[in-house]
Amino acid sequence: MGFCLSLLFFLASLPIIFAQDVKHATIVVDGTVTTAETDDNFICATLDWWPHDKCDYNQCPWHYSSVINLDLSHPLLAKAIQAFRYLRIRIGGSLQDQVLYDVGNLNSTCHPFRKMKDGLFGFSKGCLHMNRWDELNHLFSRTGAIVTFSLNALHGRHQIRKGVWGGAWDSSNAYDFMNYSVSKGYKLDSWEFGNELSGSGIGASVSAELYGKDVINLKEIIKDLYKKSNFKPSLVAPGGFYNQQWYAKLLQVSGSGIVNVMTHHIYNLGAGVDPNLVNKILDPHHLSKISETFSGIVQTIQQNGPWASAWVGESGGAYNSGGRHVSNTFVNSFWYLDQLGMAAKYHTKVYCRQTLIGGNYGLLNTTTFVPNPDYYSALLWHRLMGKGVLAVGSDASPHLRAYAHCSKGRAGITLLLINLSNQTDFIISVRNSMTMRLHVEKKLIQKENSLTRDLKRSVSWVGNEASNGATREEYHLTPKDGYLRSETMVLNGIPLKLTESGDIPRLDPVHNNVNSPIYISPLSISFVVFPNFDAPSCA
């Protein structure tokens, strides 16, 4: 009796939100075949080179977060990386093609980046000292990070006209740096060549013909330096914005087996200063536009270099350091998780988020290192979504985005549901295509009144496990206090914050009977795990 009274009091204290609209939807998952496959470690985050005085729109959001000056001893940094077991990290960014490596027979002075009016991106050349490289590798080693290092592809070249660079790549400094790394036993997963030099480039460009010759040279360097090693790092290129003709020419010129991974960058939300960023994030039509790029790069690889795979090498949503009070808040997870789902569907093996830390779009707060909402979105994806991508059918409106994967490390499937609508409450039935007839008649389901619906949802958030039958796991993500630009994510009604000892919090699901409907609130995101879902392709 006491428990019942307590439960009634708890439910009465919950704010009941009367959604303006209630829609029933059926989602059908085909577990008989995987339509695409990601890498085991799909989630990746970047470390950039920008110094503290990199500013956009009268704000300077980078602080001390660059490869050069990031506090590598901060306990939260290691904990944030270790929580992934294992996180891919890509070291690169706009200034990488001006970085000199202070090793070997370097003929020029190696000094820090400094403001320079006529320099590329307004900065001089910069320097990576080997003691700093040692410190970085110590961090990577103790956290299990899987590292891609992006090399300077402009060294030795000169500008032949505005924005266009020519001449031969001088590989000597890169060779000495790579040789130093091999001699120290640093295990790098891959070496990338250049940053945003494809097509018309960003700041600078190099022709695909020259680039193709350069990656052949780089491949020979990798073969030579790693000839005694059992592990051979991949060659990754070009780390730029997708241009069909340029990408095709690069694969044609370099030839079979040279480029292992084709990387492209995505900033499909536009400028960080755009006042319409939130509207773009919540617009399903806008989010879907980028599918043309994903489709294009898959076709280009299939036709010109089927030995290569596709990665998103850098993606921050909004360019020029991200959107202030947007990219570091809950609302950005609608864009980010939709990107992950869409990229995986289009055969993307790895997706690198700009950034792990730095700018407005860091997964970690640039000064406190405390995780932003997208950090938890990335961590949940990494832990729940396996590499097998499954086909999903839905009769819902475009505002309900649905993606399904084989579950990670166990049987069954995991469904990602993203509700972009600010007024529609979805009541979802999930079906297995194997158990359905060819033509499924849509059932007429009597709508539940708002009070009953919200009470059901409230009970499920308390976490009562179904008393009989199989259960599913649910991870419902909402913003604190319903404020979309909150920097605090709420999981199943509980705000996510570091533990008293400064550790990443547990991410616990609630359990519900597998046959009960799934309730998805307006402007919320849910991962739903079905451990007993019959999916032969996931076995």
Catalytic pick among 196, 448, 465, 500: 196
Per-residue tokens: 530: 């079905």
**Cα distance between residue 280 and residue 141, in whole Å:** 39
Contact present, 309 and 262 (Cβ < 8 Å): yes
| CB neighbour list of residue 476: distance below 8 Å, 6 or more residues apart | 461, 491, 492, 493, 510, 520, 521, 524, 525, 526
Which runs of E-coded beta strand occur in 197-290? 234-240, 261-266, 270-271
Concatenate the DSSP letters of all residues of 247-263 into one string: HHHHHHHH-TTT-SEEE
Q: Cα 393 from chain centroid?
A: 24
- Backbone φ, ψ for residue 466 (5° rounding): -55, 140
Per-residue tokens: 388: 């097998």
Catalytic (active site) residue 37: no
Concatenate the DSSP letters of all residues of 494-510 into one string: EE----TTSPPPP---E
- Ramachandran area for residue 317 (φ above 0: left; ψ -120 to 50: alpha; else beta): left
Q: What is the DSSP letter of 434?
A: G
Catalytic (active site) residue 192: no
Q: Which amino acid is at 114?
A: R
Catalytic pick among 314, 465, 487, 500: 314
CA distances from 39 to 44, 343, 387, 389 (A): 11, 12, 6, 11
Per-residue tokens: 153: 């592809």
Catalytic positions, please?
Answer: 196, 314
